[in-house]
Structure 1
Amino acid sequence: MQRLTQLITCLLGTLLFGAAAAADAILPKPFTATYEVTYRGMRAGQITFKLTRDDATGRYTYETTADPSFLARIVISNAAVERSVMEIGPNGVRPLEWSLDDGKPGTARDGQLQFDWNKKLVTGVIEGEKIELPLEPGLQDRLSIQIDVVTSLLRGEEPGLIPLIDDNRVKRYSYVKKETTSIDTKLGKLDAIVYESTRQGSSRQSRFWLVPDREYLAARAEQIRKGKVETVMVLQSVQ
């Protein structure tokens, strides 16, 4: 995967927000949200997240598209698309398909995964490498993990430790509540809960400013490496 794409995706541990209606408390609403991205203090462009629901099947499709700055186009194409198809039910989120098209000629850096919950197997190809891994309970892909985190919060549960398939192996991310604070945004001043995501053995950590009054909308997200902030995402618009 391209490095900056990985940084942005890992940063997005909780950028979704859920339904406002009590009857749909564990389900996210379809939406489109755009964030401004900076990398090491330099503008990297914008990234947009779009969640849709197929009323016929009940399945959700969540995808990201980028509008990179001139310099960021060296590593990210404005034609790049990452997508996850999933089910959301009483037991949480179950990814069904994941794909990445880097928007450039060839498939050397593309990827696709299929989750067979009956056979308990994940198969696919990532960057030309064949993937076949056992499917454990709660396993997420790089996009579905976002929905899984917020679904837990909407149920009044802590996300805890979540297994994530990234590239050719399973990684485990821990989400911990750190503090409450206020943050100035284009939506005004909002009360937020700061969550931190870490992985054992990694020098990186992610931090998210989640707004309970807006169904855990992330007003800001940061990725820190060796104690220094590298990537920052700030909410620009929501539809």
Structure 2
Amino acid sequence: MRTLKLPRTLLAGLALAVSPTLFAATPTPFTATYQVSSQGEEMGTATITLKALGNGEYEYSNQIHGTAGLAAALGANSSDVTRFRWNNNAPETESYRSTVVAFKTKQRSMQVNWNSKQVSVDEGKGSSSYAAQPGMVDRNTLPFALGMALRSGSQNVSLPVGVRQRVEQQQFKVQGAEAVQVPAGSFHAERITRTDSDSHFDAWYVPKQFVVPVKLAQSDGGNLTLQLVHYSSP
């Protein structure tokens, strides 16, 4: 019986064609809990969940509850929920709603009509609209989108992020590997920062284990630092 031998160059090409690093795997549902602090003072807990809704759609939820200090005294809580579709190997926001309760309740919603390619934002004072961009995410799903990009091997990431009145093309860069100690354990993590803005954003990822950061520190939303406590996935 004759054995067919393929040229090494062809074998290498086939291996490259099916390499998993070239294709971002579809998201796997998970639950991650975090310790939340502000300016070094513990203030509460955060629970981030990803649920599959079927037909390539997902729900990404971030619930923060004030359990200590002033946050507990004020009964401060926040809820951010995004529905996105998995499109071109990346998340793409379909809707986003945010509710923050402290002294008073603040709400914000975003709807994306991908047929008309229009974004509508309502913060309780009338809605505004602007043109959507392919691959657009919102501020809630931004850390998740970064994690998926890092998992696929990216070191420089550019993401279109829908904000109040426009889409911002935000730039991020991996600065190197660092040892990180959080309640969930010690990790050798990749630190990524935002490079196109004075807004402080640092996140530490272990992309082979988690699609969300083990630690996140950002000025947007109240100078919060999140440290991973527990992560579970089916």
TM-score of the superposed pair, with normalisation by structure 2: 0.77
1:210 to 205, 215, 220: 205
Deviations 1:119-161 (A, max 9, x none): 1101131232312111122321112323322222222234522
2:81 is aligned with 1:71: no
In the superposition, relative to structure 1, how do residues 42 and 119 fare at CA in structure 2: closer, same or farther (>3 Å)? same
Secondary structure in 1 matching 2:218: strand
Secondary structure in 1 matching 2:135: coil
2:231 is aligned with 1:238: yes
- Percent sequence identity over aligned pairs: 21
Deviations 1:70-94 (A, max 9, x none): 402577733x321100011334221
Q: Map 1:182-201 to 2 at 5 A.
A: 182-200=179-197
Measure, in 2, the Cα distance between the counterparts of 1:233 and 1:90.
Answer: 29
Secondary structure in 2 matching 1:183: strand
Deviation at 1:211, TM superposition (A): 1.0
Show structure 2 runs of 5+ residues with no match. 1-19
In the superposition, relative to structure 1, how do residues 91 and 195 fare at CA in structure 2: closer, same or farther (>3 Å)? same
2:103 is aligned with 1:102: no
Could you say which structure has the greater relative contact order, defined with CA pairs below 8 angstroms and 6 or more residues apart?
Answer: 1
Deviation at 1:25, TM superposition (A): 4.5
Show structure 1 runs of 5+ residues with no match. 1-21
In the superposition, relative to structure 1, how do residues 134 and 65 fare at CA in structure 2: closer, same or farther (>3 Å)? same
1:85 to 83, 86, 90: 83
1:5 corresponding residue in structure 2:
none
In the superposition, relative to structure 1, how do residues 216 and 100 fare at CA in structure 2: closer, same or farther (>3 Å)? closer
Deviations 1:90-137 (A, max 9, x none): 342211111112357987x21111111121101131232312111122
Kindly provide the amino acid, as one letter, of the partner of residue 25 in structure 2. I
Deviations 1:45-76 (A, max 9, x none): 11111110013x23100111111134025777
In the superposition, relative to structure 1, how do residues 105 and 176 fare at CA in structure 2: closer, same or farther (>3 Å)? closer
Measure, in 1, the Cα distance between the counterparts of 2:97 and 2:65.
Answer: 19
Secondary structure in 1 matching 2:137: coil
The alignment covers a number of residue pairs equal to 210
1:123 corresponding residue in structure 2:
120
In the superposition, relative to structure 1, how do residues 110 and 217 fare at CA in structure 2: closer, same or farther (>3 Å)? closer
In the superposition, relative to structure 1, how do residues 118 and 224 fare at CA in structure 2: closer, same or farther (>3 Å)? closer
Secondary structure in 2 matching 1:148: helix
2:216 corresponding residue in structure 1:
221
1:155 corresponding residue in structure 2:
152
1:145 to 118, 142, 156: 142
Measure, in 2, the Cα distance between the counterparts of 1:128 and 1:95.
Answer: 22
1:177 corresponding residue in structure 2:
174
Measure, in 2, the Cα distance between the counterparts of 1:205 and 1:104.
Answer: 23
